Amino acid sequence: MSSSSPVLLWFRKDLRLDDNMALLKAVKSGRPIIPLYIVTDERSPYAPLGAAQRWWLHHSLQGLDHALRKKGSRLVLCGGDPASILTGLAEETGADVIAATALPDPRAAAADESLAEALLEKQVAFHRFDGLLLHDPQTLRTGSGGGFRVYTPFWRALNQQAPPSPPRPAPEKLTAPTVWPEGEDLSSFGLLPTMPNWAHGFESQWVPGETGALARLHRFVEGALKGYATQRDLPGVDGTSGLSPHLALGEISPRRIWAAVEERQQAERNGPDGEDIARYLKELVWREFSYHLLHHFPDLPTRNWTSSFDSFAWQDDPQGLEAWKRGLTGYPIVDAGMRQLWQHGWMHNRVRMIVASFLIKDLLIDWRAGEEWFRDTLVDADPASNAASWQWVAGSGADASPFFRIFNPVLQGEKFDPDGAYIRAFVPELAGLPNRLIHRPFEASLAELRAAGISPGKSYPHPIVDHRMARDRALAALARLKGESGEPIKKARPH
């Protein structure tokens, strides 16, 4: 009750000071603020982060602590169950208010809801504020009041809304409490990999934390945004924003990104054109759409959005799955993608579609195996985008690519990486092949392989499946699924 009792500011997936309404409200209350992060354990209802994202989290928390110290505060770290930690801290510090940014993942939101009830019994209020999405999924509805099932109408409806509220700058200063609760040491959480440190390749690619996020936004808006519409699909080109891992942990707000992009549109004649801007904002809104789907269907990460896929005859193929994970399928574009994922914790979007199509359709492995691997290895793993995108490729998702759209890994490689730059970067053993063969090494003659320094099957594997056969097999599996569900195979055409 006392106006000098502190506010617990609980950071979760909003590891930023910029455009953070929970923080601003806490500052506005005039009370001392205790910024807090809780590293939850495996059994937490708040989904634990994968290994790659834990690496990111470590650095992001360091950055957040650093930024808070510049404003006269610091970050308190705790490990364990949020309910007991928060009640304990409230009692210890006399705080009767907890402020946080609302989590748009419905399972986490439900956990928040029961937490709020438990806290209320202890006379502690748990206030949550929007900030992880551009629009509240509740307010975006179709004409008949349901959730959108198709992207384009969703995009139109979103654009007919009032524009996202403008981002709010970080506060100048945070009032420190008279006594700091004792926290734990960042190193005690073991977020960084050891033995081996498989994340050493991450460091050349990323600057985790809010400072890195804002720098990346600036770099993108001034750079690759111009030409984005044509360059974004080329994995050998640095043509995307690279903001996804920052967004995933809330180091930057989508409203901040939206505002920066819109501002750039009006800035300069020789800048990005309307097409570039629209293409990028549509990508940002795909993230929004994924959360919208997750909101209306919380089982999205584990269950087919289209239930007719429930009886699909997935193959149990541990060897195929392993070859896919390791980037040893014998298809250069697939292997390059999987190795980029392992080295950098990230994969170009075009290649994500290709490797996902390969796992699901060429190997007939359940999309959930791919979703799980991505969740553990991507620094940008996001519960909504990851699930929605895997289901999109599988054909079981909303507004999905039909199952019969099967990517040909050779043609995709030749179309989007015509000079083989992407392959040479991540599959160096193929670097000596001429462009004509770099996406189809299995068609090279022995002399050509020798000239490139490749011993077939040893320095690079033979294809683990024949794509043409795999395609036919996938279509047959789809036909069986349709046969089961009683859907007419084909309608006779009147003469």
Partner DNA sequence: TGAAATGTTGGGGCG
Partner DNA sequence: ACGCCCCAACATTTC
Choice among 314, 414, 429, 448 that is catalytic = 314
The CA-atom distances, in angstroms, between 329 and each of 156, 418, 448, 457 are 40, 20, 21, 11
Least gap, CB of 296 to DNA (angstroms): 19
Cα(40)–Cα(49) distance, integer angstroms: 9
Q: Which of 180, 222, 262, 283 is catalytic?
A: 283
Tokens linked to 480: 């069986």
Active site residue 367: yes
Stretch that binds DNA, among 41-49, 184-192, 458-466, 471-479 (CB under 7 A): 471-479
Write the interaction track for DNA spanning residues 227-266; mark x where CB under 7 A is met and - where it is not: ------x---------------------------------
Catalytic residue at 258? no
Continuous H helices in 192-273: 210-222, 228-231, 244-248, 254-267
Is 411 a residue that touches DNA (CB under 7 A)?
Answer: yes
493 binds DNA (CB under 7 A): yes
Only one residue has tokens 């996202």, namely 164
By CB under 7 A, which span of 162-170, 176-184, 321-329, 410-418 interacts with DNA? 410-418
Among residues 286, 305, 373, 392, which one is catalytic?
Answer: 286
Quick one: tokens of 222?
A: 């001034």
C-beta of 454: minimal distance to DNA in Å?
24
| Residue whose CB is less far from DNA, 203 or 443 | 443
Q: What angle do CA 137, 139, 145 make, to 5 degrees?
A: 100
Contacts 24+ apart (CB under 8 A), 163-166: 163/258, 164/134, 164/135, 164/254, 164/255, 164/258, 164/259, 165/255, 166/255, 166/259
Of 2, 339, 26, the residue nearest 175 (C-alpha): 26
Q: Does residue 348 touch DNA according to CB under 7 A?
A: no
Q: Shortest gap between Cβ of 396 and DNA (angstroms)? A: 16
Pair 259, 220: CB distance under 8 Å? no
Indicate the residue among 71 and 350 with the shorter CB distance to DNA: 350
For the bound state, the minimum distance from the C-beta of residue 180 to DNA, rounded and expressed in Å, comes to: 46
Tokens of 207: 């600057």
Q: Is 278 in the site for DNA (CB under 7 A)?
A: no
CB-CB contact of 202 with 55 (8 Å):
yes
Nearest to 134 by CA among 24, 257, 294: 257
275 part of the active site? no
Give the contact letters, 133-172, x = binds to DNA (CB under 7 A), - = no.
Answer: ------------------x---------------------
Of these, 358, 407, 426, 460, which contacts DNA (CB under 7 A)? 407
Active-site residue flag, 435: no
Interface size with DNA, residues (CB under 7 A): 25
- Of residues 349, 429, 435, 448, which has the active-site annotation? 349
Among 107, 440, 471, 473, binds DNA (CB under 7 A): 471
Binding residue for DNA, selected from 263, 268, 404, 462, defined by CB under 7 A: 404
Question: Least distance to DNA from the beta carbon of 353, Å?
Answer: 6
CA–CA separation, 86 and 91 (whole Å): 8
- CB of 34 closer than 8 Å to CB of 9: yes
Dig out the tokens for 185 from the structure: 């040491």
- The overall longest dimension of the chain from CA atoms, in Å, is 87
* Site of tokens 């930023």: 16
CB of 472 to DNA, least distance (A): 9
**Selected range binding DNA among 82-90, 210-218, 347-355, 361-369, rule: CB under 7 A:** 347-355
Residues binding DNA (CB under 7 A) = 151, 233, 283, 286, 349-350, 353, 401-402, 404-408, 411-412, 415, 467-468, 471, 475, 478-479, 490, 493
| Active site amino acids | 283, 286, 314, 349, 367, 390
